[in-house]
A and B are shown apart, each in its own frame.
Chain A
Amino acid sequence: MRPRLDLPAWLFGSIAVGALFGLPFVISKANRIVPGVPVGLVDALGPGSVLRWWVLAVIGVTAVLTQRRWLRLVATGLLCVWFALALGHAAQLLTPPGNAVVRIAPGAGFWCAMASVALLGVDAAARLQLRALARLALLGLVMLVLWAALASGYFDHVSVVREYAVNADRFAHEFSRHLSLALGSVLAAVAVGLPMGLACQGRPWLRQAVLSTLSLVQTIPSIALYGMLMAPLAALAVTVPTLAQWGIGGIGYAPAVVALFLYALLPVVANTVLGLASVDPAVVDAARGMGLTDGKILTRIRWPLALPTIVTGVRVVLVQNMGLAAIAALIGGGGLGTFIFQGIGQTAIDLVLLGALPTVALALAAGVVLDALVEWLDRRRPA
C-alpha cells in the first residue's frame, strides 16, 4: 500500500502557499535601479473575478493530493502557467499607462512559489520515467509555450522582458556567442579527448599521466586559469600577428574558449578511458578469436559498447560549460555573462536576470537533450 501522506508534496505545497501569500509577489520600482516597493499577490492582481482563486485552489490541491504522477506533472505545469499569467497581469496593472520607466519585477513570492512547484513537477516527471523521446517532447513543449508567451506581448511590462526589449540586439549577439563558447569548447574537447582516451587504452602509464595532469587543470579556479592563459596567448599574438588578426590574444574569445576546453577535457578523456576499459575482456577475446581484426574490434565492439559512457561524459561537460561560459565575460569573451556582470556593476538586477535565466535554461536544456541521447544509445543494453 502506498503511504497516504506524500511528504515532499505537502512540504513544497506549503512553501508555495506561504511564499505566494506571505512574501511580496512583485516589486514595483520607479526605475530599473532604485529599490522598489513590495506588493503582495492579492494587491498585485487587483479586483476581479473570484474564479481565478478557485482555479488556483483546484490545481494546487490536485498537484499536492494526487497519487497519479502524470496528473501531478500536468497540474504543476498549469500552476507555473498561472503564476506566469499572474505576473504578467500584475505588471500590466501596476504600470501606469505610457510609462516606460517603471519596472515591475517578480518578487520573492513569485520565485519561491515557482521554484517549489517546478521541483514538484520535475520530481513527478522523473518518477514517471518518461522515455527519451517523451522528455524531448516535454522540453519542446515548454520552450514553445515560453516562446509563445514572450511573443504574445502579455509579459512586455515585466521588468526582465523590458530589459530584453532595451537590449534585444545585444542579447541575440551574446546569446549566440554564449552558445559558441560552450559548444565550441565541448566540440574541441571531444575532438581532442577521444583520441587521447583511445591512446590511453592499454597504456596504464600514459593514462595515469594524462588523467592526473587533467585533474590538476580541473582544480584551478576559472579566473586563475584565465589569468594563466593570458600571458602565453598575449605573447603568441605579439609574435604571430596573423593570430592577433584572428582575434587571438590575452583577453577575449580565444582564452575563454581555451579555458572552457581545458575544463571539458578531463571528463571526456576519463569517460572514454572508462568506457573502453569497461568492455568485458571475454567479449574482446571472443571477437579476436573469431577473426575480427583490431580495427574491427575497435569500431564494432569497443566503440559501440563505450559510446553511452562517453556521451555521459560529454553531457556532464556540456551542462558544465553552458554555465561556466558565463565567466568568459570577465575577460571580454562575451556571452550571457556580459549581462550578469554588467548588471552586478550597475546594481540592475533585471540585467543580471537577463543573463542568468537563459544561462540556466540552456544548461537544463542541454542536460535533457544529452540524457535522451544517452538513453537512445543505451537502448540495446537492457538493464
Chain B
Amino acid sequence: MIEIESLSKRYGELTVVDAVDLIIPKGSITAIVGTSGSGKSTLLRMINRLIEPSSGQVRIDGRLTTSEPAPALRRRIGYVIQGNGLFPHRTVAENIATVPQLLGWEPARIAARTEQLLTLFGLDPAIHARRLPAELSGGQQQRVGVARALAAGPSVLLMDEPFGALDPIIRAKAQEDLRTIQRQLGTTVVIVTHDMEEAFLLADRIAVLDNGKLLQHDVPARLLTHPAHPQVMALTGTTDRALRLLSLESTAAIVTAGEVSGPDLPASMSLREALSALIWAGATAGNVLDAHGQRSGHVTMQAILTRGSAAR
C-alpha cells in the first residue's frame, strides 16, 4: 500500500503538484492520467524520491519513504520509464542483475533469478541473456526493462509511460503481459499514462491530475458515470463513453439462465466486444461460454445496451 499525504512540489512560484492525497491499495494497478504537463511524472517520481517533495509525505507499507537513504529506498521499488533506459554497454543479463547486485545477492541466486525472469517475459535465456540491448527489438527491450525493474522482487512498481514508444500491436501485447504478471506476482503498480485507452484497459483505479491537482481517484467506471469535474469528462471523452463503460465489464457480469439461438460469447469477453459480436452476427442475444467452454447462460443485446446507458 502506498499512502500519499498532502504531497506538493513547487519550483519557485510554480506549483507543479498541489497537495495531493492518494491511497494506492496493495496489489492493485493505479493509473495516473492527465494532460501533458499536469504533474504526473513529478508525482510518480516523488514516490521513489527521484524528486524530493516540497511538502507532504509518502508511506510505503506504513513506512515513511524518508526513513532511509534514497538509493536504498529505490532498490526496493521497481522503476520503468519510456524508452526503457537499458544500459547500452551491459548485456541483457547484466541489466537485469543490476538491483540484485546492488543488494549483494549471491551470483548463483542472481543467475537463477535472471533466467526465471527472462522465461517469464517470453525471452529464451540461452539466446537473449548475453545479447546487448541494441541487439533486441523494441518490444524485447521494453520487456527487459520491466524484467529488470522486477528483478529484486519489489512490492511496488512505478512506470512512467512505459509503453509510449511501442507500436500499437506490441503495445497491446505488453499491456496484456503486464496485467498477467502483475496478477501473478501481486505487485502494486503505479503507471503514468496519457493514453486513456491504456488506463481503462489496465487500471483498477484511475487518478486524474490537472494542473497539479488531483481531480478524482476512483474505479474506471465511476470516472465515466460520476465524473467529479468537467475536466475529467473532457479527458475520458463523451462521444464513446458508453462503449468505454461496456469495455469495463465482461459478459459474466450480466449472464442470465437459459439457452438462446445466437453466437457463442466467452465469459471473459467484455460487453463491448459482445455487443460488437451480436451486431456482426445480426443476433439479439448470445450464449455465454464459461472457462471450460460450457454454455452457462445467455446475454441479450437489450441487457448490454442498458448496462451502457447512464440511466441504468
Contacts and interface: CB of A to CB of B under 8 A. Distances in A.
A282 B142 CA distance: 13
Interface in A281-316: 282-283, 285-293, 296, 301, 304-305
A304 B89 CA distance: 8
Contact of B102 (A282, A283, A289, A292): A292
A3 interface: no
Contacts of B48: 289
A301 B102 CA distance: 14
B74 A290 contact: yes
A277 to B, nearest CB: 15
A293 B72 CA distance: 9
Interface stretch (B32-40, B75-83, B242-250, B301-309): B75-83
Contacts of A288: 50, 74
A203 interface: no
Contacts of A293: 71
B190 interface: no
A305 B87 CA distance: 9
A289 B74 contact: yes
A280 B79 CA distance: 17
B237 interface: no
A98 interface: no
B46 to A, nearest CB: 12
B86 interface: yes
B161 to A, nearest CB: 11
Contact of A382 (B135, B149, B158): B135
B57 interface: no
A289 B154 CA distance: 13
A14 to B, nearest CB: 45
Contacts of B73: 291
B312 to A, nearest CB: 43
Given A285-B50, A381-B134, A382-B132, A280 B88 contact: yes
B85 interface: yes
Contacts, number: 67
A290 B149 contact: yes
A293 B99 CA distance: 12
B205 interface: no
Interface in B120-168: 132, 134-135, 145, 148-149, 158
B135 to A, nearest CB: 6
A95 B102 CA distance: 74
A4 interface: no
B74 A291 contact: yes
Contacts of B158: 289
Contacts of A305: 88-89
A2 interface: no
A381 B135 CA distance: 10
Contacts of B72: 291
B75 A285 contact: no
A380 interface: yes
Contact of B84 (A286, A290, A380): A286
B256 interface: no
Contacts of B83: 282
B74 A286 contact: no
Nearest to B72: A291
B98 interface: yes
Given A289-B48, A289-B50, A290-B148, A280 B85 contact: yes
A283 B84 CA distance: 8
Contacts of A282: 81-85
Contacts of A280: 85, 88
A291 B102 contact: yes
A286 B45 CA distance: 11
Nearest to A378: B89
B246 to A, nearest CB: 37
Nearest to A307: B89
B135 A283 contact: no
Contacts of A291: 70-75, 99, 102
B99 A283 contact: no
Contact of B88 (A285, A290, A381): A381
Contact of A290 (B82, B89, B98, B135): B98
Nearest to B102: A291
Contacts of B88: 280, 283, 305, 381
Interface string A246-285: 0000000000000000000000000000000000101101
Contacts of A289: 48, 50, 74, 79, 81, 85, 158
Contacts of A382: 132, 134-135
A301 B87 contact: yes
A361 to B, nearest CB: 34
Contact of A286 (B70, B75, B85, B135): B85
| Residue in A287, A289, A305, A382 whose Cβ sees the most chain B Cβ within 10 Å | A289
Contacts of A283: 85-88
| Residue in B50, B73, B79, B85 whose Cβ sees the most chain A Cβ within 10 Å | B85
Nearest to B99: A290
A301 B88 CA distance: 9
A282 B82 CA distance: 8
Nearest to A301: B87
A232 B84 CA distance: 54
Interface in B42-72: 48, 50, 70-72
Those 6 A-B pairs whose CB atoms lie nearest each other, nearest first: A286-B85, A289-B79, A291-B75, A291-B74, A282-B85, A291-B71
Interface of B: 48, 50, 70-75, 79, 81-89, 98-99, 102, 132, 134-135, 145, 148-149, 158
Given A280-B88, A292-B102, A293-B71, 8 more contacts: A283-B86, A285-B85, A286-B79, A286-B85, A286-B86, A287-B85, A287-B98, A288-B50
5 contacts: A287-B87, A291-B74, A380-B89, A381-B132, A381-B134
